[in-house]
Amino acid sequence: MKAFKRLSLIAAIIPVIWGCDNYEMPPIIPQTGATLSSPANGSSLVLNSQDPEELIPFTVTAADFGMQGTVTYSLEMDLAGANFAKPIALGSSTSNIIEVLTSKINDELIAKGAAFDVPVNVDFRVKSTINQPLSPIFGEVVTLAVTPFNTDVEFPVMYVPGDYQGWNPENEMTVLKSVNFDDVYEGYVHILPGGTGEFKVNETNSWDVNYGDNGANGTLDRDGDNIKVTKFGTFFMKVDLAAKTYTLSEPLYWGIIGDATAGGWDSETKMQFDRENNVLKITADLKKGEMKFRANQSWSHNYGGANGELTADGANIQVAEAGKYTVTLNFTEPGAVTYTLTKN
């Protein structure tokens, strides 16, 4: 009898097992993200400085969530190659056209360090959402060459008074700027030989809220000891005001070099600091020929270019005729290095 009961139980289980073999997974609904169709991938977009309030239309393809619902398209951008680590939201629409202010694109690119009047590759993507319990989907990335224009963006600043500029907190030129408006301030500080190398960082153009470093350990202390460098040159400085920390790069001591200069291509003629304008400056006799800006007697750090604009490892600068010139090197504008070459 017991054997009969066991056989009956096995007979009852076998159909269940067979039934499991015939179980079907629910179908996977394919989804397709929206992509920017106009402007087309690889095309150029020159922003119009004459009409910063102009609305630029961006056309997107339709997303397919595999079900009915209202779809919202949001356009995002970031510098090419940044993988949208910090995407900028430009606007959204429930239609296939998203209109974005010219000034919005321009200001965001300048804030990310793009240079004026120079094309920069920018990645765009479309984020699609639907009023259903489904996750957003992203379409393929489209890259455009976007040319921003010069604009009077007023970045938040911190002041850097010190021995190098006469301990003047009211100097509006010797400042660090927060290009992302995030309490992180960056800029170049020119502390050349001839002084104590001491300075402080102030929140305003007064001594009311000033920071030093009591332990010389990269931490900002309110009313602390003067920050002091042990080497001289041009430093790239970064201040995180929220974290109360700062960093200084290794100094670069800039000069001019080339067959148009006194030292030829073998030796740099050192530049001096113009504290009123926060630029490096030299007045010297130049020959007809070519020149560049170089630092620390090394070609690892050099700038060349034309028409007042400089790029790292850029072309030699042409000196059309011999004479006495005043030459300046300017790091004050975020994302740009410029120069002047003026015959006296």
Count CB atoms within 10 A of the CB of residue 340. 13
Tokens of 173: 């030129």
Tens digits of residue pLDDT in 53-104: 999 999 999 999 989 999 999 999 999 999 999 999 999 999 999 999 999 9
CATH class of the region 157-248: mainly beta
pLDDT at 111: 85
Backbone angles phi, psi at 14, to 5 degrees: -55, -45
Which three-class secondary structure state does DSSP give residue 227?
Answer: strand
Tens digits of residue pLDDT in 177-222: 998 889 999 999 999 999 999 999 999 999 999 999 999 999 999 9
Tens digits of residue pLDDT in 123-178: 999 999 999 999 999 999 999 999 999 877 788 999 999 999 999 999 999 999 99
Q: Where are the domains of the chain?
A: 36-147, 157-248, 254-343
Task: Select from 273, 180, 188 the least CA-distant residue to 238.
Answer: 188
- Which of left, alpha, beta for 89 (phi over 0: left; psi -120 to 50: alpha)? beta
Asked if the peptide bond before residue 39 counts as cis, ω within 30 degrees of 0, the response is yes
Count CB atoms within 10 A of the CB of residue 154. 7
- DSSP 8-class letter at 118: S
Domains 36-147 and 254-343 share a fold: yes
pLDDT score of 23 more than 80: no
What is the reported pTM? 0.62
Backbone angles phi, psi at 108, to 5 degrees: -70, -40
How far CA 314 is from CA of 107, 249, 298, 299, in Å, comes to 26, 22, 15, 11
Task: Select from 340, 253, 267, 335 the least CA-distant residue to 305.
Answer: 340
Q: What topology does CATH give the domain 36-147? A: Immunoglobulin-like (2.60.40)
In this structure, which CATH number among 1.10.1760, 2.60.40, 3.40.1130, 3.30.530 belongs to the domain 254-343?
A: 2.60.40
Tokens of 154: 């007023």
Residue 99 C-alpha from the chain's centroid: 24
Tokens of 213: 């470093």
DSSP string, 35-50: -EEESPTT-EEE--TT
Task: Select from 173, 157, 168, 154 the least CA-distant residue to 277.
Answer: 173
Tokens of 90: 């430009």
pLDDT at 274: 96
Tokens of 201: 């960082």
Tokens of 252: 């670069």
